[in-house]
Amino acid sequence: MKKAASTTKRTTSKKPKTEGLGVIGELDRYLFGEGRHYQLYHKLGAHPYTYRGQDGYYFAVWAPHAAAVSLVGDFNAWNPDATPMKPVADSGIYELFVPGLGVGQLYKFAITTHTGTILFKADPYAFSAEYRPGTASVTADIRGFKWNDSKWMESRAGTDPVKAPISIYEVHLGSWKKKNRPEKDGYYTYMEAAHELADYVLEMGYTHVELMGIAEHPYDGSWGYQVTGYFAPTSRYGTPTEFMYFVNYLHKKGIGVILDWVPAHFPKDAHGLADFDGQALYEYADPRKGEHPDWGTKVFDYAKNEVSNFLIANALYWLDEYHIDGLRVDAVASMLYLDYGRQDGQWVPNKYGDNKNLEAIEFFKHLNSVIRGRKDGAIIIAEESTAWPKVTKSPEEDGLGFTFKWNMGWMHDFLEYMKLDPYFRKFNHNKMTFGITYCTSENFILVLSHDEVVHLKCSMINKMPGEYEDKFANLKVGYTFMLGHPGKKLLFMGQDFGQFHEWDEKVSLDWYLTKEPFHADLQNYVKGLLTLYHKYPALYRLDEEYDGFQWINANDGDRSIFSFIRRDETQKKNLLFICNFTPVDRDDYRVGVPKRGTYTLLLDQEHGYYKRGDKISHYRSIKSECDGQPYSFAYPLPAYGTAVFRFS
């Protein structure tokens, strides 16, 4: 299909006058200028519309630096002179009604700059986009989907997520599974994926799915983190309505849906947001603020109300129109620091002379205040990789206002420790204990994410030391420690069954491995951990409070053994964890405990979670000081042994 080139030249003319179409009123323009038009996507973009008795589509685009704007598509042979748009007052917005147009029409905006160059741009507010490598926007109608997830939405609104069990399955939909068919590269559709993914998530015991790369993006290798269609679910897997079906179906199965969201930067593709109307519009004009040198991308101008409004309206769009349960904000640190990824001389200090991006800070406070104020249970998660303070505190407390923060520090320490030969772990014992010193400073999510299993970092199973069997044993004890550590949980797809090769967005996971004994055993073990997590509030109710965690022995570095207790408010179903990170049996292992009583074994490395009807071992503590505790009991702790006991 012949399309318009990225740029061309023509002689500019005076902007045409307009009587207005009655869609964008004075209040709309005022709120947009103030950065508070939270449903802006109902006004800008492309919408079914009836005007003077004729059905068609209404189009509107913000391009304040343009000399002229027109609409192009198959309907006018992509001719920039055929369908001019008209300015709306002095707002910088151009609008047009085209009768007769329906759903599925390809289109772009032809923007004439003041130098006479014509830029062919995709619609920033388009609800749908052409399948790659095409770059056109597509008219869509997202009205009329019959949601039947009201029970889920009501329950979500009445739940405090900080006090709830959250175990997240991070998924790249295009490589989770593939079909043996040529169309669309064998991708599962949203509707196909909904059923199989929900079945797997329910079987394993995850509470949420986190989807990478759903907003439209041109390059597969960006994994969806270089977005060109912020309001368009990627056409790789289907239509907007089909994505609604996906979310609705998972909700009916009791599964939450989180999307990765990228307000930090955008690519320079010719059809995208970069220099949208011939000048820096969505990005900072100064390249020292407006470009990421490491990524080759543009940085949003958070000081501009209209740009901030674009992003906030986009976040609310996913929450409202698609019933999304949460957004995981990518690369937050790159937004907060003016010198992120830059050398001396490549960045501009703020008005106080330091490296904080004051506009980005204000943007986050604004965004998160709006989301918090809705009180509908939606969450927003920061991928913030530094020690920035108060990320999850409210803006009223001078915090950024996020619900949760990814605990990147814990992840790096944990992985550095796990990769070590067991002999050297005793010299790095503090890597596993340090996280407890700050675990209450934020509302954390412990993550083992996609970023840790690509770019020659090895898959999770191949990070583990030792021979074949040792790798699985190491991963079991590592996951057990992760379960017991305060914080919500996230695993990337493939990590729960020991995917051997690094993640590759071009190919499916190696699902055949789940039929192999060691992989199946690991998968079943993770399933048991998640069962334990759901069943015992001690593992999530007091994540952000020191009352929820107690070390029994944090200093047994010579043997690389950790023991600790998790509690909830009732302190009636406490859990004692023991994790042995060496291949040495400790037949005479004795653990200190705070109470006399019975300690019931719930999970170990050999059997996993003990189900109803299984033969379960019970241990009685005696008055015998150990680990600084008044009572203790003996337990045969095997090599790479794990043990979780319940006591009251």
- Report how many helices (DSSP H) and strands (DSSP E) the chain contains, helices first: 15, 32
Give the pairing of strands 444-448 and 488-492.
Answer: parallel
Q: If you write DSSP's letter for every residue of 471-531 in order, what string do you get?
A: HHHHHHHHHHHHHHSSSEEEEETTTTTT--SPP-TTS---GGGGGSHHHHHHHHHHHHHHH
Indicate which residue of 170, 216, 325, 383 is catalytic. Answer: 383
The span from the CA of 119 to the CA of 129, in Å, is: 18
Are the C-beta atoms of residues 260 and 449 closer than 8 Å to each other?
Answer: no
The span from the CA of 60 to the CA of 45, in Å, is: 5
Are the C-beta atoms of residues 644 and 577 closer than 8 Å to each other?
Answer: yes
The span from the CA of 290 to the CA of 272, in Å, is: 15
Max CA-CA distance within the chain? 93
Give the pairing of strands 117-121 and 7-9.
Answer: antiparallel
Tell the residue number behind the tokens 């015991």, with chain if given: 205
Task: Encode 313-364 in three state secondary structure.
Answer: HHHHHHHHHCCCCEEEECCHHHHHECCCCCCCCCCCCCCCCCCECHHHHHHH
Alpha carbon of residue 41 to chain centroid: 22
- Grouping H, G, I as helix, E, B as strand and the rest as coil, residue 224 is coil
Nearest to 46 by CA among 14, 85, 89, 4: 85
The span from the CA of 40 to the CA of 520, in Å, is: 49
Indicate which residue of 330, 359, 413, 604 is catalytic. Answer: 330
Amino acid at site 47: H
Torsions phi, psi for 72 (to 5 deg):
-130, 155
| Bridge partners, residue 576, by sequence | 565, 645
Amino acid at site 21: L
Distances (CA, A) of 517 to 108, 387, 474: 53, 42, 16
The span from the CA of 324 to the CA of 583, in Å, is: 44
- Segment (H or E) for 152: helix 150-157
Structure tokens at 51: 């005007």
Structure tokens at 43: 């006004």
Q: Which residues contact 539 (CB under 8 A, 6 or more apart)?
A: 165, 483, 484, 532, 533, 566, 575
Is 383 assigned a catalytic role? Answer: yes
Give the pairing of strands 117-121 and 618-620.
Answer: unpaired
Tell the residue number behind the tokens 């302190």, with chain if given: 571
Structure tokens at 311: 């992003």
Is 160 assigned a catalytic role? Answer: no
Catalytic residues: 330, 383
